[in-house]
A and B are shown apart, each in its own frame.
Chain A
Amino acid sequence: NAGVMQNPRHLVRRRGQEARLRCSPMKGHSHVYWYRQLPEEGLKFMVYLQKENIIDESGMPKERFSAEFPKEGPSILRIQQVVRGDSAAYFCASSQTGGTTEAFFGQGTRLTVV
């Protein structure tokens, strides 16, 4: 049973481009969470999704950021018109039944905006 898979591991974008980060949850998991780790900081919650539904997006910036978790395929975190301040590590976690007690994290995508 593969773990949470995130790709790409590293992503470089120029200012103004779009970044798409993908997260495939563990087999049998239908709950996905995205967290952002800015340099020298801890992880901050961004969004919680179940299949085809956004449950809690209280941590998402109001503009340029969006997330989806379609019925088929991975969850996508999309950042439009990236700026240097978006440079961070983005981590995805998944769980089978929801909640924080059994969430498994992926290895993260490190986004660098140049």
Chain B
Amino acid sequence: AQSVTQLDSQVPVFEEAPVELRCNYSSSVSVYLFWYVQYPNQGLQLLLKYLSGSTLVESINGFEAEFNKSQTSFHLRKPSVHISDTAEYFCAVSVQGAQKLVFGQGTRLTINP
């Protein structure tokens, strides 16, 4: 069975500072990896995903994540955060061809001015 660990439940940073949200997964087979964002009182939105190919994937709002197979990680980074990035971020994994996502516990990103 697959599992996802997000090592930090909360990450406070100052505006314009860089941030890294950590995600590690366990799986004995090939997986797809996802980052979802949940803004306050809203549903989940897909931020970015890794399916195959380049291990570095990017979102339209400046986030990027790198798939590291040897370390079984998919950390999310942004070089300079904005107040509007305040949200909860969920890492998720699915086995290729599977029908369900396995989510981590989430990381609450708080941006201080």
Which A residues fall within an 8 A CB radius of B? 4, 6, 31, 33, 35, 40-45, 48, 55-56, 59, 91, 98-101, 103-108
Which B residues fall within an 8 A CB radius of A? 4, 6, 32, 34, 36, 42-46, 49, 51, 90, 92, 94, 97-106
Instruction: Select one of B32, B36, B42, B99 contacting A55, CB under 8 A.
Output: B99
Shortest CB–CB separation between residue A49 and chain B, in angstroms? 10
Contact A91 B43 (CB under 8 A): yes
Shortest CB–CB separation between residue A37 and chain B, in angstroms? 8
Residues of B within 8 A of A98 (CB): 99
Contact B103 A43 (CB under 8 A): yes
Interface Cβ pair total, 8 Å cutoff: 58
Closest to A100 in B: B94
Contact A48 B42 (CB under 8 A): no
Residues of A within 8 A of B6 (CB): 42
Known: A42-B105, A101-B32. Contact between A56 and B43, CB under 8 A?
no
User: What separation, in Å, do the CA atoms of A103 and B92 have in the docked complex?
Assistant: 12
Residues of A within 8 A of B42 (CB): 107
Shortest CB–CB separation between residue B103 and chain A, in angstroms? 4
Contact B104 A91 (CB under 8 A): no
User: What separation, in Å, do the CA atoms of A33 and B102 have in the docked complex?
Assistant: 13
